[in-house]
Amino acid sequence: MRPVRELTTDAAQWRDRLHQAISAGTMVDLTDGVDVDITSDTPWPDTHHIPADAIRAALLNPPTNPDPTGLRIKGAWIDGKLDLNDATLTTALALHQCVVPDGLTAHRTRIPQLALTYSAAPTLTLTNTRIDTHLTLAGTTLTNQNGTALTLEQAHIGGNLYATDGLTTTGQVRANGATITGHLILNGATLTNKNRTALTLDQAHIGGGRDCCTDR
């Protein structure tokens, strides 16, 4: 397992708060009951910012006897790149109505379940990643105009890939050589890669078949 980088005081405090949530099975909800507009240019309050290193540290060294629901965060602006590369994680991660401005990467990582829903990021990179159950990307926006927005090459998803309910990608979605044991569900998704292929599935294996989307 990769070592945890030394944390700033703020990041260490956040790690401890995330550990408490993992133990209790509660969501870290920063929205005060109000839906977050992830497209707004208005700066987010300081209380909504979570250092990416705090999330990484909480997942790499989770508390003893974590709740099976994993780490769930709602309404956060994630400061810094969320780097989960080369990790074997025992805790699921769910980010809802979050902004990850520097992207999320999990090369050669194993995780029980991953959800990025109604959130925004430039890129999500899951090369050679193993997700034991489901990958959920419902309602999320991934924008990398001149590159790859979503990378799933050689990834293994043990359940379904839910890319539904308004998932919007700008830039290529690459899933060459991926294995999806369940269904690839793209109903309501819009994949855009101007004048280029929006989705590549060369040598991919999808056990349950593919439900369609809009390619542009």
Residues 48-98 have pLDDT tens digits of 999 999 999 999 999 999 999 999 999 999 999 999 999 999 999 999 999
Q: What is the mean pLDDT of residues 146-159?
A: 96
Q: What is the mean pLDDT of residues 122-136?
A: 98
Residues 58-68 have pLDDT tens digits of 999 999 999 99
pLDDT value for 42: 86
Residue 57 backbone class (left: φ over 0; alpha: ψ -120 to 50; beta: rest):
alpha
How far apart are the C-alpha atoms of 63 and 18, rounded to whole Å? 10
Task: Name the phi and psi angles at 45, rounded to 5.
Answer: -60, 150
